[in-house]
Structure 1
Amino acid sequence: MTASTRLTDRKRSAILAAAAEQFRIHGYENASVDGIAALAEVSKRTVYNHFPSKETLFAETILQMFESSAGMLELSYRRDLSLREQLEELMRQKMRSLADRDFLDLARVAIGEAIHAPERTLPILARLGELEEGVTRWIRAAQDDGRLRPGDPAFAATLLQGQVKTFAFWPQIAMGAAPLAQVEQERVIDAAVSMFLSYFAVDAD
């Protein structure tokens, strides 16, 4: 990698970081490219060299934040451990990713834009769904090993994660609720995993 390429990458990262802060604070409509450029300490022209429009920059900011969050959900399936033990750890990782304040603030902006400007935001949210793969991969591996019922692993992952999001994402997004205390997190995880296994597990685990 050349020095020029490294500088270009640093500028792009600085722009995305500045954009995330501006969108979180001001929302999409009120965030300005001038403000993003000033915060990133680059010219407005440099911003547009990397991102042809504010809309494109918004999409890339949301995707980068989500990829960082989704990247936390990495747990390789192990046949020597119980399904419950592994699923509980996966859901703890999910809880940690959903508790990130910056992620929640930016998610709130994205969801608000989906209501006010669906033509701009729904394609972004569709891409986000494609990225949420960590739990799906784990379920697919457990199915291949014969320990979970066969079926659509994405459907099963959505059911499992949906129970967690009901308590640890949507109240924080929609009502500004505080993140769950540790004891409440464990209570939600235990219930979600128990319900999941009662339906999908081939044998009691």
Structure 2
Amino acid sequence: MMATENSPGAGVIVCEDGFARPLWASADPLLRGYYDTEWGMPVRTESAMYERIVLEGFQAGLSWLTILRKREAFRAAFHHFDPERVASFTASDIKRLMLDSGIIRNQRKVVSAINNANATLRLRDEGGLVALVWSFQPDTTPMPRTHDDIPTSSAESLALSKVLRKKGFSFVGPVTMYALMEATGIVDTHLLDSYRRGSSGVWLR
């Protein structure tokens, strides 16, 4: 999978199927599939948003490919990220998860996932997790031509981070929250020359 001389712009490569993608989405079949079908698409359900927050937290310090390779094991271990079920986890569940080689066995992150489930349930009386996260959608979105043009945080991700922390969430720093906003369509950071630019329907190309 190599860049061609007629690549439409710096930052993307034309893959063998003729579609222009950023380099990170072209290096592995799992990453390509994720980029082509999921990354940047709007997330509007509680369990899906909770899953993304948990996985972004587990990803801290690791590659996203590592998370994708373990995603199905995560889903099994956390009951498909049903916040009600995860909120009921006990010390024995933490011990079980710490013995599960299919997931990332970091106790602080495991405990955070349980705490975040409880925080998600509490938000139901305030409109819910999804509404809260989407309330930080900015008025404009980046227009990057290369990876270096993409911000790693924003005023909105900083504000979202602060609010979520006040609500009891953890592993929700501003950089992690910007990654969440990218992944869930709240901002569109697809490169301008990528064939996926504007695919979410949230932002004009």
TM-score, L = length of structure 1: 0.24
TM-score, L = length of structure 2: 0.24
Higher relative contact order (CA 8 A, sep 6+): 2
Radius of gyration: which is bigger?
1
